[in-house]
Structures are given as C-alpha cells and as structure tokens.
Structure 1
C-alpha cells in the first residue's frame, strides 16, 4: 500500500480530533496538579493515535463491505473501492494497528499500576469496543442514533481523562470527583467532536437513507438536527464557563469565547448548504478552531496563573 493511499485509508487528517483532547488533558493535569510524566504521555499518545487510525481504517472497510450503493459509493466515494484495496490487506492493516495499540497500552498499564488501574483498563477496553463496533458488528453504532454520543464522549472525555490519569498514576489514583471535574472541563471538546460527527451525518442524509442507515438525522430529519447541532456548540461553551467558575480551568480560558462569532458564521454557512463537498469543511474548521482556541486559552491561563 502506497503511503498516500495508507494516509487516506486511515484518514490521517482527522487525527487532530484525538490530539487535541490529549493536549487538553495534559494542560488540565498540569494546572490542577502540577504533574507531567513524559514517558507515560508519549506512550499514551502513540496508543490513541494507533487506535484512531485503526478505527478509521475499520470504518472505511466496513462501509465498503456493507454499502448497498454498488456504483457511486463503492467505486468512487469509498477509499477501499476507489484504490482497489483488497479486504485481506485492509484487515491486516487494521489488526496491526490495533495490536500495536494494545501491546503499548498494556505496557503503559503496568507502568501506572495502582488501586484504580482497573478503571484505566476499562477505559481502554471501552475504547477498543467502541472503535470496532462504531462501524462493525451486526448493528454498527454509526448506523444508529447514538454515533455522535459515543464518538463525542469517547474522544472528547475518555481521552482527556486517561491523559490526566497517566500523568498522575501511580502516585495518585482516579476518584469520582476528579472524573466529574474532568467531565465538566471536557464538555466543549465533547460537543465539538460530537458535532463533527453530526455534521457528517447531516451532509450524508440522502446517502444514509439510500444505504438504510438509522442515524439520528435520518430518524429526526435534517431541520431538527441542524437546530440541535447549533445548540450543541452553545452547551459546550456553557460547560467551559462552568468549569472556570468551579476552578477546574484557569479564568483566562474564557478567552476562547473570542472565536464564537467565527463559529456562528460557519454555522450559518453550513446550514445554508449541507453538501459534503462544500459544507463539511466548515464543521472541521469549527472543531479545530474551538479545541485549539480552548487549549491556547488554557495555556495562557496557566502561564499567567489566571
């Protein structure tokens, strides 16, 4: 498989969706605990990126196998059919990436072993299960109304919480209060990532109906879910403000609100023309702008201790 084909097969450009929650986790644990473990962080970063690529590759493979549109989607749209990637090669890539993530993950588990390591292990197992069943199995999560929920929570919250854990363990373990504070602090990332998936389904509305996918957009319609898409961004910012008020995030994190007018502008353009080739890039821009501005504002707050 040529490098260009591989990068498209694993959707390399989408890896930013897992890099940013990881970065937010590092900033959170430094601000609240002044903790940072370079080895643990590097190993965890490798795990999540390998797993993210495996999930993307599996999604593309499963979509190809189960697609009912034999001509347009299988031969032109889907990367497996477009580049004539054999299913054997596709599965080999998926298994190799997953195995690499599992091996390094178990090594990291050993390094961070403590009283709450079972929680970290559970997060890893849940990540693997969600990753596979998102597009695989008899009823893929992506074909149900819960795709946005699983992707947003798994990538936005679980990755951030795990990044916090690997930098605290084994000296300090997870607690319910810590998990709750991280959940509130990760709210903006959760909604931004979930909305990225929702935007994808909004653009794929007609195609998903043709392929008999039961996404939430197919069930409730584009108009209602476009409204929910806009509300999602607002709820994310509410979570961020609440986290600042309770002291989990620096006060200067509120600087991230400065890009809200840009988000609103992108939302209006997206809602006007929900076509994948023209509009989906606006949702990608939103996700990147929101999470990067969030991370930068947190960083500024940490530097100035405000």
Structure 2
C-alpha cells in the first residue's frame, strides 16, 4: 500500500518537474501577452484619436483589441503546457465551457452584450443628459457592463447596461436646443389679449431665448383664482441652460406684468353662509 502511494507521489513529482520548463515558458508568454495588449491598446487609441469615432466606440474598439490579444496569448500558453492540445479541441472545450458559464453568469453576459450594443448605437453619447425610468444624469462613462450617470447634484449612479437597453431612454441633450414651458396666471378682470401680448414681448426680450422659433402663449385653464397661460419657448437643452432661461423669463414676465398693471393673483377664498352671521359689537 505504502509502496503504491510512494510510486504515485514520485510519478506526480517527476511529471511536475518535467512540466516546469513548459510552465515557465507559458508564464513568460502571459507576461509578453500583457505587454503586447497594452501596446496594442495605445496604438488603437492613437489611431482612433485621429478619426471622428465617438468615445464609446473608441472604448469598445480598444476593449475588443485587448480581449483578442489576451485570448491569443492564453491559447498559445495552453498549447505550450499541454502539447497534445489541438486548436480544434481547445475551441470545442471553450465552447462547452462558455455554455456552462453563460448559464451561471447570465446577467453578467446580458449586461456585456447590452454594453456592446449601446456603444455601437449612435445615440446616447458621453456627456448626454438622459432619463430612464426615473433615473436622470449625464453620461460620464460607458463600460461593457455598466454606465455611469452623474446627477446634477453631484451623485454618481451606476446603471446596468441591460437596464438602459431594455427600457425607454429619454435623451434630454440629443439636440442643442429644446422647448421649455412655464405656467403663469393672471387675474380674472384682465384683458387676456393684452396679457398674452405683454408676456410674449417679455419672453422675446430674454437673450437666452431662440427668437427664430415659435414662442407660444396659450390661455389654458380657468383656475380657482386666475386664468392660466402656458408659455413655451426654445432655449439650450442642458440643465444649466434650462434653469437660466426659466429664471430670466420669470423675472421678465413679472416685471412686464407689473409695468402693465396686470395682477398675478394669489389664491382667494370666499366663504358663503346660508344665514347672516351675527357680529358682536
């Protein structure tokens, strides 16, 4: 019994010592692969920097080149360690292994594929402000697994790519300008035509407004204490531009209505009683 164990241990040790040169060569191949992968990424980055490729596509291209170099390096190292291993058997083994891993890490591969498709998609560029199922922020970074969104308040939201790929995404800054709106109320005794003209002139006077596009002033509702106007204009699409134009327009409208003697009412409450209310003298 002991002799059998000794023979097995000696055989294992002998096999290990014989494999040491192959393992050292394989380790050297892995090191060289890492150097080549880094060098290849730098070359791709330099070449793609001279083109008009989007940053997301450049990142995808660099990742694919790096992945391809590493697969080739590991493939060569495996053949060095296992001389009987043929390319066909290795590919077949990788196929079976990939199938098993795919079932085990389905969510990871789903996000990976979604990341590739998002990077290939023309829309949703780095720097765009997007809204998806209540999540809003500027696209700061896109990886193969997740997208980083920076909120206006500074927080970073890490969103799985599959979530962005499956759900509708509203791209706020897809165009340089977008339409903004504001509701303003005037008192019931106001001449609505006059009020609309005063509001329209006030909006046109704001520098942030694109006067080449329509400025709409619509009477929309008989509210409890006012007649409400919906005011719409075109200005910059970014969050800062939207806040700036709205601030300037509110100030301009308030100033213009005050100058025209038009009241912006606050809510009035009228109490009606069935019988006279006695008043103590």
- Which TM bucket (shorter chain)? under 0.3
Q: Which structure has more strand as a fraction of its residues?
A: 2
Greater RCO structure (CA 8 Å; 6+ sep): 1
- TM-score calculated relative to the size of structure 1: 0.20
- TM-score calculated relative to the size of structure 2: 0.21
Q: Which has the larger radius of gyration?
A: 2
